Amino acid sequence: MAVFDHKAFLKTLSTEPGVYRMYDDEHQVIYVGKAKNLKKRVSSYFRANIPDSKTRVLVSNICSIEVTLTNTETEALLLENNLIKKYQPRYNILLRDDKSYPYIFLSGHKHPRLAFHRGARKYKGEYFGPFPSSAAVSESLRLMQKIFPVRQCEDAYYRARSRPCLQYQLKRCSAPCVGKVSDEEYLDQVDLVRQFLNGKSQQVIAKLVARMETASMALNFELAAKYRDQIALLRQMQEQQSVAGNFAEMDVIGFVQQNGLVAIHMLMIREHKVLGTKTYFPKVPKDSLEDEILTSFIGQYYLSGGTNSRIAKEIILPFTIHAQQELADALSEVAQRKVLFRAQVRSERAQYLALANKNAANSIAVKQSAQDSINKRYALLKEALQVSDIQRMECFDISHTMGENTVASCVVFDSQGPNNKEYRRYNVTGITPGDDYAAMDFALNKRYAKLQDETKVPDVIFIDGGKGQLGRAEAFFADWPLDKLPLLVGVAKGTSRKPGLETLLIDGGRRTVNLDSDSPALHLIQHIRDESHRFAIAGHRNKRQKQRTQSVLEEIEGVGLKRRQALLKYLGGMQGVKAASIHQLKQVPGISPKTAEKIFNHLHDKA
């Protein structure tokens, strides 16, 4: 490995704020850091006596350093967290649970729709949240459907309506799709939803009370009763969610480091309500200090998610950290309002902190117990399969309906259990419908044909099927170019297909292994097999549902939304369009003779 000339590098380094990236001899980013003074911070890594063993190991692996200057320290903090998220350096503290948070989405349509949203904000509209879990979003949407008659249906369903659906009969939607409510009235309800989601539930109730009284004075008792019911439901919802707390907006961070694990528990309080809780287990390099772990977590949690709405006005810390004021200033600048950190707390704040710490400790205990169970299962599986080590296992399954929409799944288990990030689905094409053997060939080629990294080669590959499926897998690996060769195991169901009666087929079925139904090793195999089955079926159903909900007219070039609506309206639905002649299609407003011929040919080719 080439020796890094740090003295020559430090002479050229700026004293301005910025971010530095350290690389190893393979030019992989191994550490990302930020500094108010780059020269001073980077120089500290090359002192004569470094007490921290982790830093000594890091420095010994440095082959080059690159820096990026920024205008301010806050810009450096934001860039640092973005780069950590991008490169996942092995010497940084990594927040592994990096799923985007779920939000409630209010669309920007003429008649806005309320919906669950997770992921990139590519649709026009407003996003409210984040919520701690998808269950919290679903429950909020369910309750709001009872209070505010705003549509939650899919756009395709909304566009296709010619009469009110069941939600209108249940008084959970005002049916704007068929004009059962004026645009003004509907948008008024949408505005109430917007205020409610912004935490202004008391203002919403006050408005509804005033309207109820006005309607009552005007002897419009039906309208007054409607407002009364809305008010009652809103107050009931408040009672269900309220806690005996005096703080409107606060995040409480619990922290426990024990037996090589770190658990950080977030308690989220908004509008005097406990919105939810969530525990994180960041990936922590050996010998990392508590201060370093918590500082890195706060930066990644609040600054790497692409949203500022999750930053609470007050954040309760389990202990004081060195960068406390620096982080507070950065979060205040990003949130465009004052953000306070508190570490030494009393009374109600201390009770919340004790609860968060208690949950963090409990999470570590549960995780260690689960890991002990996983380790036992792996040890027994190694013994059953007669292999020396199992660090990575993969399992394949095929799902289709009568040969249509075939999807192959591949799930991955490592030493920690399921590794969801490594899961893959493959849309199987170019085979005879229903040919599961060909589908297995397709999946194996997609998965392994271009694989060069031996660390990605599994120790064991499970094939959900009998000798035929296993034979296809063995044929694929017959000319395997890499040194590491996986053990292929077929998982054949018993004659009754009941769990616990599976037979393991090895060496093309020449060797069989039958495990006891209560064997932890068999339970592990059933887990990975069932997971591959679930993942394949979910992909198949999604593909089938997409095919069902997509109109055949959407496939025709030049036939946009307005022309589709005109066709369906003029000819009485899709059946009428399919039965129409070219002459009848030409009579539809906006459909030219050439377009009519194109539509007719497309529909009849499909048939």
Shared domain for 417 and 517, answered yes or no, is: yes
Residue 427, strand partner residues: 407
> Residue 499, Cβ neighbours under 10 Å: how many?
14
Q: Provide the CATH number for the domain around residue 256.
A: 3.30.420.10
In a domain, 123, yes or no: no
- Mean pLDDT over 324-330 rounds to 89
386, 455 Cβ separation under 8 angstroms: no
Could you tell me if 522 and 407 lie in one domain? yes
pTM: 0.53
Question: What would the mean pLDDT of 314-336 be, rounded to a whole number?
Answer: 90
Is pLDDT above 70 for 409?
yes
> So what's the pLDDT on residue 516?
82
Distance CA 587, CA 574 (A): 16
Alpha carbons 245 and 264: distance in angstroms, whole number: 22
> Both 559 and 538 in a single domain?
no
Domain contains 65: yes
Q: Note the pLDDT of residue 243.
A: 42
Enter the DSSP assignment of 102. P
Buried b (16+ CB within 10 A) or exposed e, 507-519: eebeeebebeeeb
| 588 and 543, same domain (yes or no) | no
Q: What is the pLDDT of residues 593-603, one digit of tens each?
A: 888 888 888 88
Residue 242 pLDDT > 50, yes or no? Answer: no
**CA distances in angstroms from 443 to 222, 397, 399, 488, listed in the order given:** 62, 9, 12, 15
Q: Please tell me the predicted confidence (pLDDT) of residue 244.
A: 41
Q: What is the mean pLDDT of residues 71-98?
A: 78
Average pLDDT over residues 425-449: 87
Q: How confident is the model at residue 545 (pLDDT cuts 50, 70, 90)?
A: confident
Asked if residue 377 belongs to a domain, the reply is no
Average pLDDT, the chain: 83
At residue 88 the predicted structure's pLDDT band, cuts being 50, 70 and 90, is: confident
Domain count, the chain: 5
* SS3 letters across 231-281: HHHHHHHHHHHECCCCCCEEEEEEEEEECCEEEEEEEEEECCEEEEEEEEC
Question: Are the C-beta atoms of 87 and 32 separated by less than 8 Å?
Answer: yes
Please, which pLDDT band fits residue 498 given cuts at 50, 70 and 90?
low
User: Is pLDDT above 60 for 307?
Assistant: no
Q: Classify the C-alpha dihedral 383-387-392-395 as positive or negative.
A: negative
CB 587 within 8 A of CB 579: no
Residue 504 pairs in a beta bridge with 491, 513
pLDDT of residue 479: 84
Is residue 446 one of the residues assigned to a domain? yes
- In which domain, by residue range, is 41 found? 6-87
Bridge partners for 35 per DSSP = 18
Q: Is the pLDDT of residue 127 over 80?
A: yes
Answer whether residue 271 shows pLDDT above 70: no
Above 80 in pLDDT, residue 125? yes
Q: Are 460 and 393 in contact (CB under 8 A)?
A: yes
